[in-house]
């Protein structure tokens, strides 16, 4: 799928509803990042901006990046409604498949990166790791399994990675990084029809030495 086609896909997906996500930051992000000293943060696949806005409110200087212009426009509106000062968040519309880091960050966060289109996840996350400044952290949050309300055709041949597989796919130098945590955390969620469920999230936090 071309960059233009992928952008069109995600813009159309976001346009299906006025708001796709809850507007609240990811639970794992809040729990993990709350103990870190604020610096520069990169939010990959920022969507409608809840994580980026929360990080800015905690004192981080944030770059939020997403392929969908529709989502980023909503993120800008959210930041304005929360009175985030100008310059605290830089919003970028770009296909992560073509993205190359041009700066270094104390935090690079990749929460639930998309897999609905052709997406070289491992390559993108390797680039993300290269953007982590010395002493900084890379946070990865992902699904462990499909939610119970997912359609059977959503499953396909997809298999979610374990925490160990996720770290191995980064191909990091063992003497240059420290695994701070690698675990599965339960999360209470509400499905599209109001159904309640407990989902498990894979959470990996690694620090560049």
Answer whether residue 61 shows pLDDT above 90.
yes
Flag whether the pTM goes above 0.85.
yes
Reply yes or no on whether the pLDDT at 153 is more than 50.
no
For residue 45, what are its two tokens?
């696949």
More confident of the two residues 137 and 162 = 137
First vs last Cα of the chain: how many Å apart?
A: 37
pLDDT at 151 over 70: no
Domain residue limits at 42? 3-208
Res. 62 pLDDT band, cuts 50 70 90: very high
Is the pLDDT at 112 greater than 80? The verdict is yes
Convert the pLDDT of each residue in 16-33 to its tens digit: 888 888 889 999 999 999
Average pLDDT, the chain: 89
* Integer angstrom CA distances of residue 38 from 33, 34, 70: 9, 9, 28
Look up the CATH number of the domain holding residue 50: 3.40.50.150
DSSP string, 89-132: EEEEE--TTT----S-EEEEEEES---SS---HHHHHHHHHHTE
Number of H helices, E strands in the chain: 7, 7
Q: What is the pLDDT of residues 180-190, one digit of tens each?
A: 999 999 988 77
Count of structural domains within the chain: 1
What are the φ/ψ torsions at residue 168 (nearest 5 degrees)?
-60, -35
Tokens of residue 19, six digits = 């708001």
């Amino acid at each position: 799928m071309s960059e233009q086609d992928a952008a069109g896909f995600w813009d159309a997906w976001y346009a299906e509803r006025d708001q796709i996500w809850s507007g609240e930051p990811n639970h794992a992000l809040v729990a993990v990042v709350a103990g870190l000293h604020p610096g520069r943060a990169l939010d990959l696949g920022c969507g409608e901006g809840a994580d980026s806005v929360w990080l800015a409110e905690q004192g981080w200087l944030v770059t939020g990046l997403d392929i969908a212009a529709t989502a980023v426009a909503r993120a800008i509106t959210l930041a304005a409604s929360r009175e985030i000062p100008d310059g605290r968040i830089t919003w970028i519309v770009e296909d992560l498949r073509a993205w190359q880091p041009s700066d270094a960050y104390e935090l690079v966060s990749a929460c639930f990166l998309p897999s609905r289109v052709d997406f070289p996840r491992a390559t993108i996350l390797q680039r993300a790791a290269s953007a982590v400044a010395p002493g900084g952290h890379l946070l990865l949050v992902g699904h462990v399994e499909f939610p119970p309300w997912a359609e059977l055709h959503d499953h396909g041949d997809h298999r979610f990675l374990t925490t160990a597989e996720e770290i191995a796919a980064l191909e990091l130098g063992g003497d240059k990084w420290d695994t701070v945590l690698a675990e599965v955390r339960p999360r209470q969620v509400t499905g599209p029809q109001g159904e309640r469920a407990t989902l498990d999230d894979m959470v990996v936090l690694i620090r560049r030495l």
